[in-house]
Amino acid sequence: MKNETPFIDKNEFLFIGGPCAVESSEQMKAILSLPFGPSVIRGGIYKMRTNKNSFQGLGIVGIELIKEIKKSHKLSFVTEITDPRQIDGLLPIVSCFQVGARNMYNYELLKELGNYQVPVILKRGFSATISEWLGASEYLQALGQENIILCERGVRSFDNKLRNLLDLGSVIYLKKNTAFKVIVDPSHAMGDRRYVSDAAVAALAAGADGIMVEVHPDPDNALSDGQQSIGPEIATELVQKIKELAPHFNKVLRV
Ligand code: PEP
Ligand code: MN
């Protein structure tokens, strides 16, 4: 049966915020109690780290932690899935799966996810062309276009001043030529919290349907990606700014 409720409605600009990785119950509750009351929260439970000695995510402990929080808080939870064997464990807590840049080409994972009625955010691979990215989306096609959300997160380039090269051209192209919802991850694109808000506003102007931003209650002490995570103050300012600007682009902010 097809899921009839799109994850992002027409004319909505969705703000997905939350830490790179779920670290503790206190951390997640701090995100939930931000002044703008975020309802769609991201948080990695299975992390794909470049260095195997880096924090790998809480795994099953993280799943239990989110289950506990869901008993008392209404939240829509987005988390990365890195292996089809995680599906059963994650299904009770996810509203939307995230397939990360490293797994965009993992066609077996994509085929498997196509069997479930859970929306999927498909991130662009580090060096994937738009055609390769759209090719990967076809493995998810059983979900229908309204439940596949493409996420531009920057690509590798010759320039190492920023973490990645945010390709807003891809957003413009995809919105003009496909029916997909397209969101932008300004955090992994820029790699530095000082630039995240401006990139997020640029995403709105480029026609994106939302942003997925790393927000941490205490970025300097985050277990992963602290340098690019925005804290409560910047997040609150960003949400306010987008709320004001969205109507100029025929969108309404959903936070
Ligand atoms: C993430 O969103 O946590 C992440 C690891 O991003 P990416 O797959 O784009 O590197
Ligand atoms: Mn991250």
**Maximum CA pair distance of the chain?**
47
Half-sphere exposure of 111 (CA within 13 A, CB side): 3
Question: 3-class SS at 35?
Answer: coil
In a domain, 1, yes or no: no
Cα 116 from Cα 120, distance rounded (Å)? 10
Contact 75, 99 (CB under 8 A): no
Which pLDDT belongs to residue 5?
74
Which pLDDT belongs to residue 143?
86
In a domain, 164, yes or no: yes
In a domain, 28, yes or no: yes
In a domain, 7, yes or no: no
Q: Separation of 125 CA from ligand 1 center, angstroms? A: 10
Q: What angle do CA 198, 187, 10 make, to 5 degrees?
A: 75
151 lines ligand 1 (CB under 6 A): no
Q: What is the pTM of this model?
A: 0.97
List of the chain residues with pLDDT < 50: 1-2
C-alpha closest to that of 78 among 112, 28, 120: 120
What single letter denotes the amino acid at residue 193?
R
Which pLDDT belongs to residue 38?
93
Q: Separation of 243 CA from ligand 1 center, angstroms? A: 25
Cα 140 from Cα 110, distance rounded (Å)? 6
In a domain, 160, yes or no: yes
pLDDT in tens, 14-51: 999 999 999 999 999 999 999 998 999 999 999 999 99
Which pLDDT belongs to residue 67?
98
Cα 99 from Cα 121, distance rounded (Å)? 6
CATH number at residue 115: 3.20.20.70
Phi first, then psi: give them for residue 66, nearest 5 degrees: -70, -40
Which pLDDT belongs to residue 85?
97
In a domain, 4, yes or no: no
In a domain, 170, yes or no: yes
10 Å CB burial of residue 100 (0-12, 13-18, 19+) is buried
Instruction: Specify the residue for token string 């869901």.
Output: 70
124 lines ligand 1 (CB under 6 A): no
Contact 229, 216 (CB under 8 A): yes
Looking at the 3D structure of the chain, how many domains does it have? 1
125 lines ligand 1 (CB under 6 A): no
188 lines ligand 1 (CB under 6 A): yes
Domain that holds residue 38: 12-254
